[in-house]
């Protein structure tokens, strides 16, 4: 690798960047993905129960039933009002106008005053399993609070007296995101997902566009090795995506969501560069088996979904079946998420993340060499 070798790499990288800058739609889309998408994910996506629409059928109309319903408080619940008939309740659940309907039976207060147990019905729309589970948990907590207060009231124990009874206090210490800020998690997660998508798609698209224009054949007969042809394309993608990461961090994450960047910016950009290198290998493979951009899109989506689902971003690896847990090691996003959250929120240094970084580099090298091999094979007669 002499001076001429590097000069060719520099010139070809300049050519790729120039071609990218001339594609206005691609430039605007890339800027939007790193700013608009990250902003929408951080601002609009919540992992908590917020304003869940709830109806109720109060067949008792007593003080006790109203006290129970008062436990369904904002911001978690939005109590829409009374539903008069069971058929109407089912219809509203069918139309997704209500998430759940609480059914308080007749003689609810009378049974409690007599010391008898009673039951409240809760019809829940479980089609959205996440919202359904959250609503189920929160109504369970509301019921527990009501039972506790009712018991103390019947024992004529005031809250102040109840505090004098020996009890166990659990003093939790939530580290790295003490307020459980969804916006931090979602915006960082979206930024990493955008990186994955564009690393895969841009690399493949740049090579396939050469195929469509017929210039790839000209390059293949030029005095250039496959590495000299492909490396500038990956370097161009690296520069474009690292600029996008900088845009996300300094335009959205820090000023809008106040994400506390605890670690080293340099280390995060280094990790991001290795990640782009790793995913670009897959992009090269897609480019070698695709004849046009439509095929690139379809194959990219085909590979993108398993990479995201096996990353552990939304489902902990421990919760997956054994055979899926084994496949997690093949998802580059798994390592990137581990290192990304570690650097940004925990302030992790190289001494903590080096194993993940090494694994990502090794995986990327395998994918990159595989991509070059496939690229060479397509010109072999």
CATH number for the domain harbouring residue 151: 3.40.1710.10
Q: How crowded is residue 2: how many other Cβ atoms within 10 Å of its Cβ?
A: 6
Whose tokens are 């950009």? That residue is: 269
- Residues 73, 126, single domain; the answer is yes
Model confidence at 162, pLDDT cuts 50, 70, 90, reads: low
* Helix segments in 178-310, DSSP class H: 182-213, 215-221, 226-247, 265-289, 293-309
**Cα end-to-end span (Å), the chain:** 28
Instruction: Evaluate whether residue 169 is within a structural domain.
Output: no
Stretch among 16-30, 121-135, 159-173, 328-342 having the lowest mean pLDDT? 159-173
C-alpha–C-alpha distance, residues 191 and 39, integer Å: 9
pLDDT at 220 over 80: no
Kindly report the average pLDDT of the chain as a whole number: 87
**Worst-scoring range by mean pLDDT, 265-279, 291-305, 345-359?**
291-305
Mean pLDDT of the 266-293 span: 90
pLDDT mean over 210-216: 79
Q: Are residues 214 and 358 in the same domain?
A: yes
Taking Cα atoms as reference points, which of 26, 15, 18, 368 lies closest to residue 218? 15
Domain-embedded: residue 110? yes
Strand order in the sheet with 77-82: 77-82, 52-58, 100-104, 121-124
Query: How many structural domains compose the chain?
Result: 2
Class of residue 259 by CB neighbours under 10 A (exposed 0-12, middle 13-18, buried 19+): buried
The residue among 162 and 17 whose pLDDT is bigger is: 17
| Exposure b/e, 117-144, CB count within 10 A at least 16 = b | ebebebbbbeeeeebbebbeebbeebee
Give the residue from 133, 164, 195 where a domain finishes. 164
In a domain, 292, yes or no: yes
Q: Is the pTM of this model over 0.75?
A: yes
pLDDT value at 160 more than 70: no
CA 83/CA 54 separation, integer angstroms = 10
Which residues constitute the domain of residue 283?
Answer: 3-45+181-378
Same domain, 61 and 29: no
pLDDT interval class at 381 (50, 70, 90): low
pLDDT at 178 over 60: yes
Final residue before a domain boundary, out of 164, 190, 208: 164
Give the integer Cα–Cα distance in Å for 243 and 269: 10
Evaluate whether 97 touches 53 at the Cβ level (below 8 Å).
Answer: yes
- Euclidean distance between CA atoms 204 and 32, whole angstroms: 20
DSSP-derived secondary structure for 39-89: HHHHHH--SS--SEEEEEEESS-SHHHHHHHTTS-TTTEEEEEE---HHHH
Name residue 255's beta-bridge partners.
none
Residue-level pLDDT at 120: 92
Alpha-carbon gap, residue 25 to 31, rounded angstroms:
10
Q: Answer yes or no: do 41 and 56 share one domain.
A: no
Are 335 and 204 in a shared domain? yes
Q: What are the phi and psi torsion angles at 164 (to 5°)?
A: -80, -15
pLDDT in tens, 241-256: 999 999 999 999 999 9
**324, 229: one domain:** yes
What is the sign of the dihedral through the CA atoms of 268, 249, 193 and 343? positive
pLDDT digits 0-9 by tens, 333-374: 999 999 999 999 999 999 999 999 999 999 989 988 888 887
Question: pLDDT tens digits for 38-54?
Answer: 999 988 777 778 888 99
**Residues near 167 by Cβ (< 8 Å), separated by ≥ 6?**
none
Nearest to 55 by CA among 82, 18, 91, 22: 82
201 belongs to a structural domain? yes
Residues 341 and 305 in one domain: yes
Q: What is the mean pLDDT of residues 72-77?
A: 88
Tell me, yes or no, whether 66 and 109 share the same domain. Answer: yes
Same domain membership, residue 213 and residue 64: no
Angle at Cα 24 formed by Cα 38 and Cα 39, nearest 5°?
Answer: 10
Flag whether 172 is in a domain: no
Residue 311 is assigned to a structural domain of this protein:
yes
- Checking if the pLDDT of 73 tops 90, the result is no
Give the 3-state secondary structure of residue 222: coil
Write the DSSP string, 88-156. HHHHHHHTTS-SEEEEEPTTHHHHHHTT-----EEEE--SSHHHHHHHHHHHHHHHHHHHHHHHHHHTT
| Residues 339 and 267 both lie in one domain | yes
- Quick one: what percent of the chain has pLDDT higher than 90? 42
Residue 379: band (very low, low, confident or very high) from pLDDT cuts 50, 70, 90: low
Is 267 within a domain? yes
Same-domain pairing of 241 and 263:
yes
From CA 34, how far away is CA 190, in angstroms rounded?
9
Looking at 120, 138, 164, the residue that finishes a domain is 164
Q: Is residue 285 within 8 Å of residue 199, measured between CB atoms?
A: no
Residues 20 and 56 in one domain: no
In a domain, 170, yes or no: no
pLDDT at 45: 74
Phi first, then psi: what are they for 81, rounded to 5°?
A: 135, -175
């Amino acid at each position: 690798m002499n001076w001429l070798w590097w000069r060719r790499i520099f010139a070809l990288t300049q050519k790729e960047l120039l071609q990218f800058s001339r594609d206005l739609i691609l430039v605007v889309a890339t800027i939007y993905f790193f700013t608009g998408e990250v902003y929408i994910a951080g601002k609009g996506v919540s992992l908590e129960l917020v304003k869940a629409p709830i109806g109720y059928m109060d067949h008792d109309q007593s003080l006790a039933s109203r006290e129970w319903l008062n436990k369904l408080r904002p911001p978690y619940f939005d109590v829409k009002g009374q539903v008069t008939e069971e058929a109407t309740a089912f219809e509203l659940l069918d139309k997704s106008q209500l998430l759940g309907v609480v059914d308080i039976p007749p003689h609810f207060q009378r049974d409690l005053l007599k010391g008898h147990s009673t039951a409240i019905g809760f019809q829940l729309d479980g089609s959205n399993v996440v919202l359904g589970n959250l609503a189920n948990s929160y109504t369970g907590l509301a019921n527990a609070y009501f039972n506790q207060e009712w018991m103390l009231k019947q024992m004529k124990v005031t809250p102040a007296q109840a505090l004098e009874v020996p009890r166990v206090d659990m003093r939790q210490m939530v580290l790295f995101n003490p307020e459980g800020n969804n916006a931090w998690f979602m915006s960082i997660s979206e930024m990493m997902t955008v990186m994955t998508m564009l690393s895969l798609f841009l690399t493949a698209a740049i090579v396939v566009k050469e195929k469509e224009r017929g210039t790839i054949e000209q390059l293949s007969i030029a005095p250039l090795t496959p590495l000299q042809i492909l490396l500038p394309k990956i370097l161009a993608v690296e520069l474009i995506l690292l600029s996008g990461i900088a845009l996300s961090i300094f335009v959205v994450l820090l000023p809008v969501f106040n994400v506390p960047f605890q670690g080293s910016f340099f280390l995060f950009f280094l990790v991001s560069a290795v990640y782009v290198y790793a995913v670009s290998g897959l992009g090269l493979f897609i480019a070698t088996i695709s004849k046009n951009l439509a095929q690139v899109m379809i194959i990219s989506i085909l590979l993108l979904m398993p990479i995201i689902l096996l990353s552990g971003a939304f489902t902990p690896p421990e919760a997956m079946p054994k055979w899926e847990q084994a496949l997690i090691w093949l998802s580059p996003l798994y390592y990137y998420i581990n290192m990304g959250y570690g650097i940004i929120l925990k302030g992790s240094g190289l001494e903590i993340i080096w194993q993940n970084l090494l694994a990502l580099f090794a995986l990327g090298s395998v994918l990159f060499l595989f991509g070059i091999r496939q690229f060479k094979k397509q010109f072999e007669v």
